[in-house]
Amino acid sequence: MRYNFLTAFAALGAFFVSTTTAFPPYAPLGGLSARQLEEIVPTLDAKVPPPPPGPPSFTGAKLVDDRDHPWRAPQRGDQRGPCPGLNTLASHGYLPRNGVATPTQIIKAVQEGFNFDNSAARFAVYAALLGNGNVVTDLLSIGGKTRLTGPDPPAPAIVGGLNNHGTFEGDVSLTRGDAFFGDNHSFNETLWDQFVDFSNRFGNGFYNITVASELRFHRIQQSIAENPQFTMLGLRHISAYGEAALPVNLFVDGRKTGSEKGQLDLESARSFFKEMRYPKGFFRAAQPGGGEGSEVIFLSHPTSPGRNNATVNSFVVDDSLGSILDPCKVYTEFVNTTVLGLYPSPTGVLRRNLDIDLGFLYDAFGSGLPNCPQVFPYGRA
């Protein structure tokens, strides 16, 4: 079911409203009913979303595992999720260590700590906030907490966060399982063994673009064969390829040159993916970057966006939400289908902030694409 996350959000809202505990300021409002929003929104500390930060003035390599950013293991209550980059930044204090941050904090942290490209950072963060964050308080959790809620027997509700499945988080991750198998965000030792095996077979013990191409394709084949609810649509079709390239560009020490460039050793990879920690003395990349090489990964084994049809091995092509080959449609459908589905008729500060954040999303993504006009799901303000 493509929109089962809506049901999850609705159940979550019912839980909070019925128990009248304080609504967590980072919990998403998407999928709540008009009545629930009327009750919850006035209890929140509403912010006007500020314009996102631009690129920093210095964009070269530098030591980021420094004295001001010591690694600390997450404490009870700190949130971590499916993104090894953001998890690492939180565990080193580039992001608030509790894992809850504003878009501005996240953009500054990914630029400072990884040299993540400014427009890619802005696109990722506003897509994440609109899909999984709280647009009234301007806060996003990089993970999410699981709580038990009724009816009897209690069903878990995810108070997410990037852990929410179906908007940004998706199937076929390299080191995390598909949501269908019960845990979509924790480091998965079996998938890690496969990561190591592919790096040994195709990269002489390193993870590089060749390994990324083979492993990305294999993970897709694996999910088609094992997960009846496998989906890879729209934004996920872009992010699945982009995320396979990110470790090559941003997890390799920025001092590496020549044949060592773009070759991620497995000890460093495990440090990021599992320990959420920089390798000792790590230097960030020597120039701003992100998903460069994702088109090579895609073209090595092109797979269309699509999904299984409730049984395994029943893959059908579905490009209704766009694809890596049609990013303008990904932008347009993310806004008109995903965001509008979560927020069908917002009012007041919620509507105001959605309009502002949708503008920031367009500035980061749609505006750079040819013939890709901005869409206004709620009309022009």
Residues that bind ligand HEM (CB under 6 A): 82-86, 106, 110, 114, 116, 121, 124-125, 128, 162, 168-170, 173-176, 239, 243, 246-247, 250
Contact partners, residue 185, CB within 8 Å, separation at least 6: 80, 81, 82, 143, 144, 162, 163, 169, 176
Least CB distance from residue 284 to ligand HEM, whole Å?
A: 9
DSSP, residue by residue, 148-208: EESSSSPEEEEEESTT-BTTTB-S--SSS--GGGT-SSS--HHHHHHHHHHHHHHHTTEE-
Closer to ligand HEM by Cβ: residue 36 or 294: 294
Least CB distance from residue 222 to ligand HEM, whole Å?
A: 13
Distance CA 19, CA 27 (A): 15
Distance CA 65, CA 222 (A): 36
Closer to ligand HEM by Cβ: residue 243 or 326: 243
| Torsion (CA) 243, 245, 250, 254 in degrees, nearest 10 | 180
Least CB distance from residue 200 to ligand HEM, whole Å?
A: 18
Closer to ligand HEM by Cβ: residue 32 or 212: 212
Nearest to 255 by CA among 273, 291, 279, 290: 279
Closer to ligand HEM by Cβ: residue 274 or 351: 274
Closer to ligand HEM by Cβ: residue 190 or 371: 190
Least CB distance from residue 25 to ligand HEM, whole Å?
A: 18
Q: Where are the beta strands (DSSP E) in the chain?
A: 100-101, 140-141, 144-149, 155-160, 206-207, 231-232, 264-265, 306-307, 316-317
Least CB distance from residue 70 to ligand HEM, whole Å?
A: 19
Nearest to 98 by CA among 106, 90, 107: 90
Q: Could you tell me if 358 and 103 are in contact, meaning their C-beta atoms sit under 8 angstroms apart?
A: no
Least CB distance from residue 279 to ligand HEM, whole Å?
A: 13
Distance CA 299, CA 312 (A): 25
Closer to ligand HEM by Cβ: residue 40 or 191: 191
Least CB distance from residue 118 to ligand HEM, whole Å?
A: 10
Tokens 């320990």, residue?
Answer: 275
Q: How large is the C-alpha radius of gyration of the chain?
A: 20
Closer to ligand HEM by Cβ: residue 103 or 346: 103
Residue, CB closest to ligand HEM: 85
Least CB distance from residue 337 to ligand HEM, whole Å?
A: 18
| Max CA separation in the chain (angstroms) | 60
Least CB distance from residue 169 to ligand HEM, whole Å?
A: 4
**Identity of residue 45:** D
Other C-beta atoms closer than 10 Å to the C-beta of 351 total 15
Distance CA 308, CA 127 (A): 25
- Tell me the Ramachandran region of residue 138: left when phi exceeds 0, alpha when psi lies from -120 to 50, beta otherwise: left
Closer to ligand HEM by Cβ: residue 38 or 193: 193
Other C-beta atoms closer than 10 Å to the C-beta of 65 total 18
Closer to ligand HEM by Cβ: residue 12 or 245: 245
Closer to ligand HEM by Cβ: residue 16 or 334: 334
Least CB distance from residue 42 to ligand HEM, whole Å?
A: 28
